[in-house]
Chain A
């Protein structure tokens, strides 16, 4: 079923400004790193072909603006994502704190079919730096408490764990995509979708 179609995995990278989202993507796709900080405007994406379990899949990696003032446009690209990568800076506790709100905001905007089992991956970036403020243990604990989200400690600068992390991302995304395809097999998918979203909306109502 899946082999007859070219698989495109949509991955969204989120996190506060300056945690290294663009650097991680660049390291993974282009194997390059620059110390220069340049704020991403709005959003941008790069694609890379990877092999997951002997299958060639294309990853479409969306890099986003962490700074509020560069988020001037919408986030329609959240919709249809197969995996969401949340990045924080291990030397800045605030970036770790805000992961929760990034996750919530993503789930609301993307409104995936099964929010509780949507694949997330957490990356603690900049482990090459010495002034660490968020310990690996704490981060790991939080990830476990949130439905066992995979956690990686990376360094975009030294290329530590980057390949491994993205392999996991691709694998989890593929699992999600296959599941989504199963849904798509049904002809009345729009109706299903609408029903599902209707439930979400009701849940929304309660929260407000």
Chain B
């Protein structure tokens, strides 16, 4: 679960505890979104309010008495200016105490090694007894050579560090944090991705960050429950067994019809009931046609099964019972939409809804990193087939799906490996992780579908991944080029599939695009493509006729929206050289003109004296 970053000794302590959220089982399972709020605040700069870190209170390790005294005075002032009972004041006071201890220390043993250091809530003492075990510095993770290096240990939390490291430590005393909080973090690894921790100091925007991290949480809860099918349907006794007769199916159809009429309009329930009704009718049709024979087509839970006729060379496993399909003696079905394979005998019992249906309806990937809520949220049952699961049972251990954050049994989770979209978008982490069969089918099916709105989910990724930013810029250029090429008979030949995929108005990415960005192939492809298109547009008389001329300088150079040296007025779409635009005080000449004209028309209407537009009098 933990990322590689969290595994390093540096980060181990800070993850133990974070969100000041009460342990309340009911509220925990109900809302995964509400939990997101608190974490953001408290993680920042290791629990210490930002305002303190920014203010220049820091003193270097070899500060003199005077410097410390000065810092104390500054700190005092800040304490008085800070709001009462605030976190800021609390930490300022703590810092003030630390400074005073420091001053005391300086007075006592001038020039000597400080025997006590109080910093960030720690109470360090010099380590005197040399331990037999090798010790590592909690700050720099280097070995402490106890014979030659003096070191400190915090008597509260056991933090050990080199003498030289003590003034630079980042971690707040775990004892202080835990005592204040008085509880453990009760969310299972409440990961929000590197973006939430601001891997890029270039764009620090606290407000947008906290809002975006919560907004991504919406979809998961609603749709995953009971395999995407509303509970009400599963409960109602609509099920028919695999060898049902015509009469039984007809009866079921009538029952289903009634239920459809009774269900609320436009609800999920009705949608699934109608889908089931269609499936039943197909079944009836099938029964009428080939009575007693093997059904060649089966429609169930959104799947469209067809009998597999060609025997494949590779060994196939049934997606329902995970048993081998002996293709010579056993007939089997394959869903032509999602590729689900199962035995002939298993087809009526399958639990999984067609991954194609689910992904097409949802139109996006899960964008929370492994939104795990624990086995309790699944009532200690497999998320797909409802087999009871516990961690005590070593025979059928619960397997965590890193994509859905749910636990599955061994039959529904085959330890397939895949990169996880949420981890890619948040952390640019391409490591493969274990996922359930359902997730595997959904991911492979939607791998090249443009489902990822990087701009909305994590706009910081653009500044973090230079290649992505470059591709994004080229996509914007392509979008403009498309408008030229579409209206040109010669240019429309240049609209390759790649162009159509990436040059559209919705700027979403598919996983395969992101993968190609990661290995660099998309960048080269796009550069070539834009070059070819640019060449056509600038040389074609029709396309270049639709370019722009800079009105400010009157130069004959034709400008295009995809030129970096030009700027477009977002109101009237006229273009200028960047330099000319700045020279004109960033005013659009055409917009000014239009405004002037409008004013003139208004005044002539009012006063009936037409200054410029004498055409009116010819009309009247």
Contacts and interface: CB of A to CB of B under 8 A. Distances in A.
A206 to B, nearest CB: 12
Contact of B619 (A74, A79, A93): A93
Nearest to B544: A76
A73 B484 contact: yes
B265 to A, nearest CB: 36
Nearest to A41: B487
A108 interface: yes
B553 A72 contact: no
Contact of B558 (A71, A76, A104): A76
Contacts of B597: 101
A121 to B, nearest CB: 16
Contact of A142 (B551, B592, B615): B615
A44 B546 CA distance: 9
Contacts of A99: 615
Contacts of A207: 593, 596
B589 A74 contact: no
A208 B484 contact: no
A130 B350 CA distance: 72
A100 B613 contact: yes
Nearest to A62: B545
A72 B560 CA distance: 12
Interface string B519-559: 00000000000000000000001101111110111111011
A93 B617 CA distance: 12
Interface string B554-582: 11101110000000000001110000000
A45 B487 CA distance: 12
A41 B543 CA distance: 12
A42 interface: yes
B559 A74 contact: yes
B551 A76 contact: no
Interface in B592-620: 592-593, 596-597, 613-616, 618-619
B545 A108 contact: no
Contacts of B615: 96-97, 99-100, 142
A204 interface: yes
Interface in A183-208: 193, 197-198, 200-201, 204, 207-208
A44 B547 contact: no
Contacts of B593: 104-105, 108, 207-208
Nearest to A100: B615
Interface in B483-507: 483-484, 487
Given A134-B619, A141-B618, A111 B554 contact: yes
B619 A76 contact: no
Interface string A71-88: 111111111000000000
B524 to A, nearest CB: 29
Contacts of A142: 614-615, 618
A78 B558 CA distance: 11
A72 to B, nearest CB: 6
Given A97-B615, A97-B616, A99-B615, A74 B542 contact: no
Given A79-B556, A138-B619, A204-B589, A72 B573 contact: yes
Contacts of B547: 73-74, 76
A131 interface: no
Interface string B459-498: 0000000000000000000000001100100000000000
Given A43-B545, A97-B615, A97-B619, A74 B556 contact: no
A98 B120 CA distance: 73
Contacts of B554: 111, 197-198, 200-201
Contacts of A76: 544-549, 558-559
B483 A74 contact: no
Contact of A45 (B484, B542, B548, B553): B542
A139 B618 contact: yes
Nearest to A108: B551
B553 to A, nearest CB: 7
A167 interface: no
A145 interface: yes
B568 to A, nearest CB: 9
A96 B555 CA distance: 32
A45 B560 CA distance: 20
A74 B546 contact: yes
A204 B592 CA distance: 11
Nearest to B559: A74
Nearest to A204: B589
A109 interface: yes
A184 to B, nearest CB: 13
A115 to B, nearest CB: 12
Most A C-beta atoms less than 10 A away, residue of B484, B541, B593: B593
B533 to A, nearest CB: 15
A44 to B, nearest CB: 7
Nearest to A80: B556
Contacts of A96: 615, 618-619
Most B C-beta atoms less than 10 A away, residue of A62, A71, A77, A200: A77
B546 A145 contact: no
Given A74-B575, A100-B613, A200-B554, A138 B545 contact: no
A41 B489 CA distance: 13
A75 B619 contact: no
A72 B572 CA distance: 9
B546 A73 contact: yes
Contacts of B548: 73-76
A79 B555 CA distance: 10
A201 B552 contact: yes
A138 B614 CA distance: 12
Contacts of B556: 79, 193
B549 A79 contact: yes
B542 A44 contact: yes
Contacts of B616: 97
Nearest to A45: B542
Interface in A103-135: 104-105, 108-109, 111, 134
A156 to B, nearest CB: 23
A108 to B, nearest CB: 7
Interface in A133-186: 134, 138-139, 141-142, 145
B403 to A, nearest CB: 41
Nearest to B484: A73
Nearest to A138: B618
Given A74-B574, A78-B549, A96-B615, 10 more contacts: A45-B541, A45-B545, A72-B573, A75-B546, A75-B549, A93-B619, A134-B619, A145-B614, A204-B589, A207-B596
28 contacts: A42-B487, A45-B542, A72-B483, A73-B547, A73-B548, A73-B573, A74-B546, A74-B549, A74-B560, A74-B575, A76-B546, A76-B548, A76-B558, A77-B545, A77-B546, A79-B549, A79-B556, A100-B615, A101-B597, A108-B551, A111-B554, A134-B619, A141-B618, A145-B614, A201-B552, A201-B554, A204-B589, A207-B596
Interface of A: 41-45, 62, 71-79, 93, 96-97, 99-101, 104-105, 108-109, 111, 134, 138-139, 141-142, 145, 193, 197-198, 200-201, 204, 207-208
Interface of B: 483-484, 487, 541-542, 544-549, 551-556, 558-560, 573-575, 587, 589, 592-593, 596-597, 613-616, 618-619
Task: List 10 tightest A-B contacts by C-beta distance, closest first.
Answer: A77-B545, A74-B548, A197-B554, A76-B547, A73-B546, A138-B618, A142-B618, A100-B615, A76-B558, A74-B547
